[in-house]
Structure 1
């Protein structure tokens, strides 16, 4: 391991908790600005300052990791597409909390949960964070738009749940370009997460049944007395 790698790992360890707190602060500040429309101007400015400060921290972290990588900007971007997307769309930054949860669940380099349980737990956390961020975004851009059917945050949450579940009732739909782009992203994520959870649950069932078959005495078929 060279000096740059050690410096990068040391930087990531030291900034893991502050960046996780900044991610939640960004989400909370944005949520208050979107949902609390009657908030006094002074408090709205405080929320905006929190959002901008958190975004500045994300940019500094990205710049430091770019420098410590020893790669050019284009090569770094190709190898860290998700980090770049999160920097441009900081509402997705709380999804990094999933990796923090992974480290909390590990003890002495061994996961406390099984592989299948971890996949389902991570998928659940991702759905909750992604759904909340998506609902906020859609409500922010759809509220007051001409011809909009998503008029309340409740409408936005209902639409987000239906979209992530790939149900798509069609009773409320986004009409703005940003809302529709958000819908496409939620559909893709919903399909991926649903497939991951379904596949993990099916694999877990197969593993359980296989173990039961291995424990059954030879010549004793299932259901035999």
Structure 2
């Protein structure tokens, strides 16, 4: 039986709008960081979009908190929503939920579990890498003795950090940049572990099925 609780109905109504809001946040933040010659009116518009998306996530969080009736336990049971609200750079992760929401509305079957894990992890890596590269570039490119002076440097650094390689040819030198780096290292390890574990489980199940299909004595 489908869950028809007020919380579920609210989440179903807001999944797509919040996913779109996440994309708008990422676009506005990218323009704000990369368009150095943007007029003040354009910069104000980008900041307005960023503030509006944060307000939308805040309203969603407060409504879910009220509907849950869990009090402060809601923070622990909705950890992703809490982290996304506190750390704006993780806001694009809400886009990952958009895929399931669109499929459910169209009545289309979802991917198998292992495929979903790898798909979601891949999308999360792209979103986190891009958002993290923007944040580190914003923090670093004008800092004294900075090695990350172009957005290309920042993208290269983000890719090597999320991949847990860490070549060390370009590194953050500001406290803000290093704080972002610590978060991206943790996210990279978690996503790499999720993909590796899911892929390993899929291989084991595939080999087990092949063994079961062999005729006795073969």
Q: For 1:152-193, what per-residue CA distance to the aligned partner results, in whole angstroms no more than 9, with x for missing partners? A: 111011001100111010000001111111111111111111
- 191-200 vs 29-38, which deviates more? 191-200
Change (3 A) 1:213 1:56: same
With the length of structure 2 as denominator, give the TM-score of the two structures: 0.90
Structure-1 separation of matches of 2:140 and 2:169 = 15
Q: Which of 164, 169, 179 is the equivalent residue of 2:167?
A: 169
Q: CA deviation at 1:106?
A: 5.2
| Greater C-alpha radius of gyration | 1
What RMSD in Å do the two structures reach over aligned CA positions? 2.0
Map 1:1-225 → 2, pairs under 5 A: 6-72=5-71, 74-105=72-103, 111-220=109-218
Structure-2 separation of matches of 1:213 and 1:75 = 46
User: Retained in 1: the 8 A contact 2:93–2:127?
Assistant: yes
Q: CA deviation at 1:8?
A: 2.2
Equivalent residue of 1:148, what SS?
Answer: coil
Q: CA deviation at 1:86?
A: 1.0
Runs of 4+, deviation exceeding 4 Å? 105-111
With the length of structure 1 as denominator, give the TM-score of the two structures: 0.88
User: Retained in 1: the 8 A contact 2:136–2:180?
Assistant: yes
Structure-2 separation of matches of 1:86 and 1:52 = 14
The match for 1:223 is none
Structure-2 separation of matches of 1:63 and 1:94 = 19
Structure-1 separation of matches of 2:105 and 2:10 = 21
Structure 1: state its 5+ residue gaps. Answer: 221-225
